């Protein structure tokens, strides 16, 4: 008998076909509407494999309902949407999709740095709203990227790729990480500093850590007030790492100059969110890995991980 797999969103047909060759597949057919919790709760009961997205909360209660689940395959590198301990207790393997999205996410992070520093969205709106009357010496002036100091919090795969990009802009690189990376430090000519030094000396602070109990609210008003008044905060990691109320206050009070956000505590971010009222915040709908090629690779890798486990083989990327 073929194993049963539940896929929580419409993924590309070629990937569904690949899974269907070996499994009995049920799928939530929508592309832009997440699977309702009650459907997921029903489907997980007799599934052998779950192919899910970061939008699904695969928590203790959900995992408790699974009667024969062997694998939770997340189509994302971050896995903070999954209760890893609960899965481990039940002997369910959890897999993710690292690596294939690294460069694309680093590209987007750099794009956010540039858009925030050079006021790209604000300037485009300025023109479209009919405000462009003439060229003027200090009109829409921003901050320089070349030669600036880039502070990276979380020197993992994406952090290192971001550092690589910054070299082309003659940036100085500071980093703070859970563990030191001596080889990379040498290769990139970057400096390991303590957390507060990184905040106070950087022109750009980019967050590239996972979302964990240790990184929750890593950036609050205290940290923002240590930053330069001309500095820019970029978050393409996870929303909860930055305290959004504190960020709003810090931007209002001029503690920092701008912010670029691809991720939010609540996603989709509510349209009445205070941060959306500020012209110096560039906001994106969690599109870090969103290139056609990369999303295909992520879906493919998630399928490979799922099928390997269902065939009693080790997956390519095991979280636990």
Which DSSP helix (H) or strand (E) runs through 175?
strand 172-176
DSSP-assigned letter for residue 135 = -
State yes or no: residue 12 binds ligand GLV (CB under 6 A): no
Is 267 annotated in the active site?
Answer: yes
- Which residue out of 238, 244, 255, 317 is catalytically annotated? 238
73-85 CB burial, b ≥16 within 10 A, e <16? bbbbbbbbbbbbe
The three-state (H, E, C) secondary structure of 228-252, written as one string = CCCCEEEECCCHHHECHHHHHHHHH
Strands 204-207 and 232-235: parallel
Which of 215, 243, 294, 305 forms a contact with ligand NAP (CB under 6 A)? Answer: 215
User: Cβ 72 to ligand GLV, closest distance in Å?
Assistant: 14
Is 118 annotated in the active site?
Answer: no
Interface with ligand GLV (CB under 6 A), residue total: 7
> Which residue, among 247, 242, 243, has the nearest Cα to 280 in the 3D structure?
247
The entry of ligand NAP, ligand GLV, none that residue 68 binds, CB within 5 to 8 Å by partner kind: none
State yes or no: residue 50 binds ligand GLV (CB under 6 A): no
Stretch that binds ligand NAP, among 38-46, 139-147, 220-228, 230-238 (CB under 6 A): 230-238
Which of 154, 240, 260, 315 forms a contact with ligand NAP (CB under 6 A)? Answer: 154
User: Cβ 134 to ligand GLV, closest distance in Å?
Assistant: 42
> Could you tell me which residues come within 8 angstroms of residue 130 by beta carbon, excluding any fewer than 6 positions away?
none
Is 20 annotated in the active site?
Answer: no
List the interface residues with ligand GLV, window 96-155 (CB under 6 A).
101
Which of 4, 70, 119, 238 forms a contact with ligand NAP (CB under 6 A)? Answer: 238
Which of 77, 148, 188, 261 forms a contact with ligand GLV (CB under 6 A)? Answer: 77
Please state at what angle helix 292-310 crosses helix 13-20, rounded to 10 degrees. 10
| Tokens describing residue 49 | 């494999």
Q: How far apart are the first and last CA of the chain?
A: 27
65 in Cβ contact with 45 (< 8 Å):
yes
- Residues binding ligand GLV (CB under 6 A): 54, 76-78, 101, 288-289
The catalytic residues are 238, 267, 286
- Residues binding ligand NAP (CB under 6 A): 77-78, 98, 101-102, 105, 154-159, 177-179, 208-212, 214-215, 236-238, 262-263, 286, 288-289
């Amino acid at each position: 008998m073929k194993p049963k797999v539940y896929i929580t969103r419409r993924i590309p047909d070629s990937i569904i076909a690949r899974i269907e060759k070996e499994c009995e597949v049920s799928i939530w057919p929508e592309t832009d509407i997440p699977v309702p919790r009650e459907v997921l709760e029903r489907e997980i009961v007799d599934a052998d494999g779950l192919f899910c997205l970061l939008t699904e909360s695969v928590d203790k209660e959900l995992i408790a309902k699974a009667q024969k689940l062997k694998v939770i395959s997340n189509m994302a590198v971050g896995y903070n949407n999954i209760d890893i301990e609960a899965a481990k207790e039940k002997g369910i393997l959890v897999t993710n999709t690292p690596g294939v999205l690294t460069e694309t996410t680093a590209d987007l992070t750099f794009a956010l740095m540039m858009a925030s520093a050079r006021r790209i969205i604000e300037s485009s709106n300025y023109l479209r709203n009919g405000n462009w009357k003439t060229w003027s010496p200090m009109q829409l002036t921003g901050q320089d990227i070349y030669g600036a100091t880039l502070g990276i919090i979380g020197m993992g795969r994406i952090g290192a790729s971001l550092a690589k990009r910054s070299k082309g802009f003659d940036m100085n690189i500071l980093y703070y990480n859970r563990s030191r990376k001596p080889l990379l430090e040498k290769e990139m000519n970057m400096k390991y500093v303590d957390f507060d030094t990184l905040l106070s000396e950087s022109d750009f602070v980019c967050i590239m850590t996972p979302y964990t109990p240790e990184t929750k609210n890593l950036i609050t008003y205290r940290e923002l007030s240590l930053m330069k008044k001309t500095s820019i905060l970029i978050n393409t990691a996870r929303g909860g790492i930055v305290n959004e109320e504190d960020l709003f206050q810090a931007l209002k009070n001029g503690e920092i100059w701008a912010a670029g956000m691809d991720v939010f505590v609540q996603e989709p971010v509510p349209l009445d969110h205070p941060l959306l009222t500020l012209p110096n915040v560039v906001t994106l709908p969690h599109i870090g890995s969103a290139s056609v090629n990369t999303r295909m690779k992520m879906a493919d890798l998630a399928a490979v991980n799922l099928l390997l486990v269902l065939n009693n083989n080790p997956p390519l990327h095991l979280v636990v």
